[in-house]
Amino acid sequence: MSEARTLHELVADMAVLYELALEIGQTLDVAANCQRFLGRLMARKNFDACTLWVRTSRLREGRSGRRGAHEPYVCLYTFPAPAGDGPGPLAPDHDLVKALATRPLLSVAEPDPLYRRLRAEDGHLQGSYLLVAFADWGVLKLHSSVRERVLDRIELAQLDKLMARFARSLEGGFSYAALREEIGSRRQTEAQLFFLAHHDPLTGLPNRTTAMERLDRIQRHGDGPGAAAILYIDLDRFKNINDSLGHLVGDRLLTEVARRLRGCVRSTDLVSRLGGDEFLVVLDGVRETAAIERIAGQIIEACRRPFLIDGRELYIGCSIGITVFPDDAGDGQRLISHADSALYQAKRAGGNCHRFFTPELDADVSHRLRVESALHGALTRHQMRLVYQPIVDLADGRVRGFESLLRWQHPKLGTVSPEVFIPIAEENGLIKALGEWCLVESVAMLAELRRRDPRLFVAVNVSERQLQGDTFPALVDRLLEEGALPAEALHLELTERVLIGEHPETLRTIQRLAAMGIDFSIDDFGTGYSALSYLRRFPCGTIKIDRAFVKDIEQDAQDAALVEAIVRMGQSLSRRIIAEGVETPEQLDHLRAVGCDMAQGYLFSAPLEADALLPWLETYTPRLPQARPAGTQQAAGRPVR
């Protein structure tokens, strides 16, 4: 039972008791008062039988009557009434009742030794029983024909309070003023709880519940005035700030974001926080694309401006997915789902932008959901495998190592690209299991390779999730020890995003691994947050130039200049430089000319299956392909991954 529901029922119970108290105070007929009170109580709590015993000493003289005055307990009420002239529950085992009356609140579904005899007195042998002892006043026995009808702790406390008030009314000590005050207090608490149930406690914005209620109202109004635009907002780079600077800074940032969002819309529009760094804006009566884009642009600009938190400037951004009612969907759940699909596309586009929902996006998201579902069983069904691409020394053409690359072949989905399933695995946490499997398999292959050539290394891609926690360095150490391998034979590849995040746990893990002798490579250098400060601070021995810059190195002067700058920078910092995606002799000549150390790509070899790796090495002849004379046709290149 929810707290809101419990408080609502308690307020209602108190109101019933208040009304009943007016009647109780006007008569000395205790049995009649019991019948009124317990009859309503059973109806509200769904019990079908009850028996109430009270201590004779707790009843004022004249109210208890002569019957049972010499007994320690008297039965004030039983329902249904006993048949015939039998004593029924009017003659209980007083020792048992006394023992029960000294216990705390009790809820049981099976017979208790202390009241086993009481259980059979009214002939109810099936269902569940509840015995409540309230102070030293008496004992109430309730029965339900539905098994396991046992009240929870909150309901027990509620029932105990009701009975205590009823007891005081029988003793003549009932206070109408106190009851009115308690009812008012309960109603105030209920109002506060209602506010908390419909608002985000951090930002004060309406929450998901309120947003769905607003969308339901819009849906009921239908087309025309009921039209609305839904903007699903997700903050860019918020996780980096939250992880590196702490949740307190993150909370203050979210509060400031909420303030700016409210400033971008009308007072009649809804700005709600769905959770985490996700917000939802509902623009009532807005349907025109130009108006929606104008507001979306204002929100993006508001989030792009620096945030001053605790004396420091913080920079984030936001991505927005947009749906329009009733054009895109007719109910709130589908509208939010479609907006989420559009948001995903905005994220894929690099963030700091908005995207409108289209039916094609829905198909993309459906495919993504199928991929995510299939990914959960991919390892156990042996659908994953590793391939290995040679890394060649540009000085002499010798193979110096291999990069292990993950491949997924699904029986129905076919070949699923790592660019599709790796981001999904990072989002749902499966990347940790996938990464560990890749590491185990790669180190096992490394041991085989080094038996042929002890100078070879294997590079393995590692995600940030794997580096968080204390278990990863121990796993690496164990695998190297089992394979009798030196630490320098294993290279771990990190993306710049991992370094820019500066997560404390991640940095500690990197430092521990570097102290063991593990070499780190910065993968896809130049595509993200490349900065000299990271190269100086982090123990990375290798920089990998992304294939995007190598592809047009002969035709694009900017790419050529950038590649040369990366090589020169790496040389000045004593870092090795590996170029990815080398497919033509002309690219190779350019890389050699600027001083690049190593390269990988289809010019040397496609990624090799594990069982083909050693045979390929046996037949490989160290050589560096020469550029073709001008005018001759080149073979079409192929992507590395």
Task: Express each pLDDT in 610-639 by its tens digit.
Answer: 999 999 999 998 877 665 554 444 443 333
pLDDT at 12: 56
Q: Strands (DSSP E) along 203-260, which ranges?
A: 228-236
**For the chain, percent of residues with pLDDT exceeding 70:** 69
From 39, 36, 41, select the one nearest 12 (Cα to Cα). 41
Task: Give per-residue burial for 593-613: e unless 16+ CB within 10 Å, then b.
Answer: ebebbbbbbbbbbebbebeeb
Percent above pLDDT 90 for the chain: 41
pLDDT value, residue 151: 55
**CATH 3.30.70.270 boundaries in the chain:** 208-357
Class (C level, CATH) for 383-618: alpha beta
Per-residue pLDDT, 641? 41
Cβ-contact 194, 209 below 8 angstroms? no
Stronger pLDDT, 507 or 250, i.e. the higher one: 250
Query: What's the pLDDT at 1?
Result: 41
459 vs 424, residue with greater confidence: 459
Q: Which residue has the tokens 């360095």?
A: 473
Average pLDDT, the chain: 78
User: Where in the chain are all domains bearing CATH 3.30.450.40?
Assistant: 3-190
Structure confidence at residue 231 (pLDDT): 97
pLDDT of residue 57 exceeding 90, the answer is no
Comparing 81-90, 169-178, 394-403, 607-616, the range with the smallest average pLDDT is 81-90
Question: Are 252 and 309 a contacting pair, CB within 8 Å?
Answer: yes
Q: What is the pLDDT averaged over residues 280-300?
A: 93
From 37, 38, 75, select the one nearest 56 (Cα to Cα).
75
Q: Of residues 426 and 24, which shows the higher confidence score?
A: 426
632 CB-side CA count, 13 A? 9
- In order of 8, 298, 312, 354, the CA distances from 291 in angstroms are 43, 11, 34, 13
Q: Distance (Å, rounded) from C-alpha 235 to C-alpha 228?
A: 22
- Is domain 3-190 in CATH 3.30.450.40, yes or no? yes
CA–CA dist 258, 449 (Å, integer)? 56
More confident residue, 623 or 491: 491
Burial group, residue 73, by CB count within 10 angstroms (0-12, 13-18, 19+): buried
Instruction: Write out pLDDT tens, residues 319-335.
Output: 999 999 988 888 888 89
> Selecting from 3.40.50.450, 3.30.428.10, 3.30.70.270, 3.20.20.60, what CATH number does the domain 208-357 have?
3.30.70.270
